[in-house]
Amino acid sequence: MTSLLVHPAALTVGGVDFLPGAAGWLIPALLFVVGVFGIIVPVLPGLVLCVASVGLWALDNGSSAAWWAFGIAVALYVAGVVLQVVLPGRRMKRDGVSNWALLSGVVGGIVGFFVIPVFGAPPGFVLGIFVYEFVRHQDLDRAWSATKAALRGVLHSMGIELATALAVAIVWVGGIIVAA
């Protein structure tokens, strides 16, 4: 039976040190970079990976400062997700973008992802919204206007997610300094 023992200096499973020395912060840092990439190219759950990297570091470090940093990172994550949904959603509603248009965009993004792997999701999203709005209004200008509003909302949401990742990174660096 393998036991999980958490020591202040290392993550040890069954007597094997998984994050020795610099790897105690290097592996989580690489995971954080992958998380930021996942925010920019929405293939991976970017912000979740960023917060998970802080959790992995806290698990390895084991100090109370590390766990406080992780707790603050989780709180920032929750606040970021709420802002990510509320602010752009309110703006898109004001600009006349319906939930059905956004759902059409998501479906278009999924189809686009499989038609043009990885890079097809954004154009598929745009095309899905545009087609829905054109069918709804039978007006190219109005459909394009709603599509641009939805794109502004998505970019706003991505900006909030990146800002949250930056805040998590700042808290993490502070935690590393205090825990050292």
- According to DSSP, the residues that pair with 4 across neighbouring strands are 13
Contact 168, 73 (CB under 8 A): yes
Q: How far is the CA of 123 from the CAs of 51, 126, 173, in angstroms?
A: 29, 5, 36
Q: What is the pLDDT of residue 9?
A: 47
DSSP code of 2? -
Instruction: Give Rg (Cα) of the chain.
Output: 21
Q: What is the pLDDT of residue 8?
A: 46
Q: How far apart are CA 4 and CA 129, in angstroms?
A: 48
What is the model's pTM? 0.76
- Give how many domains the chain has, as a whole number: 1
101's tokens: 């248009």
Q: What percent of the chain has pLDDT over 90?
A: 46
Q: What is the pLDDT of residue 1?
A: 40
Low-confidence ranges of the chain (pLDDT < 50): 1-10
Domain that holds residue 154: 4-179
Q: Report the first-to-last Cα separation within the chain, whole angstroms.
A: 33
Instruction: Please enumerate in sequence order all residues whose Cβ is within 8 A of that of 144, keeping only pairs 6 or more positions apart, or say none.
Output: 130, 133
Q: How far apart are CA 88 and CA 90, in angstroms?
A: 5
Q: How far apart are CA 92 and CA 98, in angstroms?
A: 8
Q: What is the pLDDT of residue 7?
A: 46
- Count CA within 13 A, CB hemisphere, residue 153: 27
